[in-house]
Structures are given as C-alpha cells and as structure tokens.
Amino acid sequence: MSQPSVLFVCLGNICRSPLAEAALRARAVEAGVAITIDSAGTGDWHVGRPPDPRAQALALAHGIDISSYRARQVTAEDFHRFGHVYALDPQNLKDLHRIEPSHHIADLRLLMDMVPGRKGTAVIDPYYGDEHDFEQAWADVCAAADALVKRFRR
C-alpha cells in the first residue's frame, strides 16, 4: 500500500491551509504515520509569499515553524499527485470541482466532513478576523488532523 498524500486547499494559501498542513504534519509525526502533505490556494493573489504573520505566530505558539512555507495555486496536476484533496470551505470545494480534470486519483472532500458532527461546515476564514478567529481555525484544523491520522493509521 502506498503512502497517503493530502493537499489542503483554501482561497489564498496563507492562513487556513498552511495551518492545516502544519497541524497534520505535527500530528502525523507524533503518531508515526507517514503522509505526504502540502497546501495550496484556489486564488493566485499570494503566490510565493509566506503565511500570514498571524498564522505564523499561532503555529509557532504551538511549537511549529511555518515561516518557510510559500503560497501556491492549486494545479490540475495536484489532482493526480494527491490521493486526498480537502477544501477548507464549501466555496473552495465548488471551485475545485470546477477545475478538476475529468480523470484523476484525488478523493475531493470538505475537510470538516472528516470530523464527527461537523459535516458540511467550513474552517473559519480568519483573514479579516482577529486572534480568536485564528485560534478557532487552529482548533478546527487540529480536530481534522486528528481524524485524518486516525483514518490513515488503519
């Protein structure tokens, strides 16, 4: 069986999806589960830029340095490279369905569908919010990371 591969997708790839990537990387290491992990955005506004300083500070407060991450836009190739593509909200899921190639290996879903009791919900977009919104986004992506590690551990 090959190693699972996960791509997290939000709008700009500077807040939610890098936090989701960081959370899953940390949880996978703790659990000893090998997973290929990356993140991307459906938009191109922030390509090449590091995560939002507030996301970096939050991750660092949890012992994870994401300052080397760089935003990128999702590509058609991603649907062939990753077995699991998780959108962080319903609009980005719709956008991913709009650009997905006709034949691909990716299982395309909403990330919070992986968390019991959260089906159909979004990870809050903290970009225009405050510290509390970033903390809520972190809590959401950590809950999803725990669920994914449990799933891939089987």
Active site residues: 10, 16, 125
Instruction: Order the strands of the 5-10 sheet from edge to edge.
Output: 36-41, 5-10, 84-87, 107-110
132-144 burial, b at 16+ Cβ within 10 Å, e below that, comes to ebbeebbebbbbb
* Spatial distance between the Cα atoms of 71 and 69, rounded to a whole number of angstroms: 7
**Going along the chain, which residue ranges are E strands?**
5-10, 36-41, 84-87, 107-110
- Quote the distance between the C-alpha of residue 75 and its chain's center: 15
CB 77 within 8 A of CB 103: no
